[in-house]
Amino acid sequence: MGELWTKVATVNDTKLIEVRIPSNRGIAYYVTSTGQALNIPDAYQYPRFDPTADNKTGYITRNILCLPFFNSAGELIGVTQLINKQQGSFTTSDEEFMRAFNIQAGIALENACLFESVLLERQYQKDILQSLSDAVICTDMQGQIVTINDAALELLGCPLKLANGKTNKLLWK
């Protein structure tokens, strides 16, 4: 890991600024490297606290709750960090709520990655299908064509180019 980064609002909320912290410093780094939650009631008294973000934003961090989240294989894929509970410090109830939230966040991130993989695989298969010189027609169980490549369209007598040079492919699909 090179660095951890986030975007935060300045103290007057007029703009978002990017804060980057070397990956070997700070609370999020500790949670990332150990996989353990941290509940810090007084940030400035905690030796691992890095005030870089406070210095850039004008914000004053009082307390922090930072927890890891994992994918279905149990691999750490991120951390969530809450700062400055409105009243008092973060409680064990807050920790349990964030653990439940992080389970859902881990599932959502993993699903997003899987969906992206499926889309990439689908595009790869479409590219291969179109590059084949043999005609390929795929149908569903009702006999409706769901996939057809250019070679099959030509074989069926469906011209891909109109007289004016424009493509007719979408019309045939």
Residue spans of the domains in the chain: they are 3-119, 132-172
Give the per-residue pLDDT at 2: 74
At 134, list the tokens. Answer: 């043999």
- The pLDDT tens digits of the residues spanning 42-56 come to 999 999 998 888 888
pLDDT value at 35 more than 70: yes
Q: How far apart are CA 114 and CA 122, in angstroms?
A: 12
Give the per-residue pLDDT at 170: 56
In our burial notation (b when 16+ CB lie closer than 10 A, e otherwise), range 76-110 reads ebbbbbbbeeeeeebeeebbeebeeebeebbeeeb
- The pLDDT tens digits of the residues spanning 11-32 come to 776 778 888 878 788 898 899 8
Give the per-residue pLDDT at 154: 79
**23 vs 172, residue with greater confidence:** 23
Please tell me the pTM assigned to this model.
0.65
At 10, list the tokens. Answer: 């300045």
pLDDT value at 164 more than 70: no
CATH superfamily of 3-119: GAF domain (3.30.450.40)
On the CB side of 94, how many CA atoms lie within 13 Å of its CA?
Answer: 22
Give the per-residue pLDDT at 89: 95
- The pLDDT tens digits of the residues spanning 54-102 come to 888 888 999 999 999 888 888 888 889 999 999 999 999 999 999 999 9
Give the per-residue pLDDT at 82: 94
Among residues 81, 86, 50, 83, the alpha carbon closest in space to that of 68 is found at 81
Model confidence band, residue 163 (pLDDT cutoffs 50, 70, 90): low
Name 43's Cβ contacts closer than 8 Å, sequence gap at least 6: 49, 61, 62, 63, 64, 83
Pick left, alpha or beta for residue 98 (phi over 0 → left; psi -120 to 50 → alpha; otherwise beta). alpha
pLDDT value at 173 more than 80: no
Q: How far apart are CA 127 and CA 150, in angstroms?
A: 11
Give the per-residue pLDDT at 171: 54
